[in-house]
Amino acid sequence: MKIAILAAGFLSLIMACNTKNDKPRADMKHYAFRLKPGEDLRAALEQKTKDLQIKAGWIVTCAGSLTDYCIRFANQPDSSTGSGHFEIVSLTGTLSPDGPHLHIAISDSTGKTIGGHLMKGCKIYTTAEIVIQSSEQFTFERKKDGTTPWEELQVRE
């Protein structure tokens, strides 16, 4: 009996999450592309943002690998670099005409994982398969607002 109640509850949850509107939102755009060996991950994302005229974008997913990394770790003034073979296990953040705010996590051949702010100098090893979404409803800007010493995300509709 308990299993039947749990199953019914689970099915109700799935049904509640299922939407009837299969039409894409007019203000949303989706971009999928691949970066090739030797390309700089951050520089390529900045160029894509410019070329596609993205005013408010974010990374949906990225799978790939690097031969060189340049990452600024939390609360550190300078970037750390390294060379070898690394899997990109996560890439997340926002894209705007003022520049991106991106965090990356990479792992080495032993599974040791590091992460932080993505800087220029992360070179693609074999591939970086990336999906970006953007919205024309918003504009992302990076400006100082007095809450921190840094230029932070400002969202305009």
> What's the pLDDT tens digit per position in 78-122?
999 999 999 999 999 999 999 999 999 999 999 999 999 999 999
CA distance linking residue 34 with residue 15, whole number of Å: 35
What is the arithmetic mean of pLDDT over 39-67?
Answer: 98
Residue 19 has pLDDT above 90, yes or no: no
The Cα–Cα gap between 70 and 116 comes to 9
Q: Would you place residue 141 in the very low, low, confident or very high pLDDT band (cuts 50, 70, 90)?
A: very high
Architecture of domain 25-141: 2-Layer Sandwich (3.30)
Specify the pLDDT at position 104.
98
**pLDDT reading at 10 higher than 90:** no
pTM: 0.83
Strands (E), 96-147: 101-107, 113-118, 123-135, 139-144
Q: What is the pLDDT of residue 58?
A: 98
When comparing pLDDT for 12 and 142, which is higher? Answer: 142
CA distance 130 to 34: 6
53 vs 102: CA distance, rounded Å: 18
Annotated domain spans of the chain:
25-141
Separation CA 67–CA 17 (nearest Å): 41
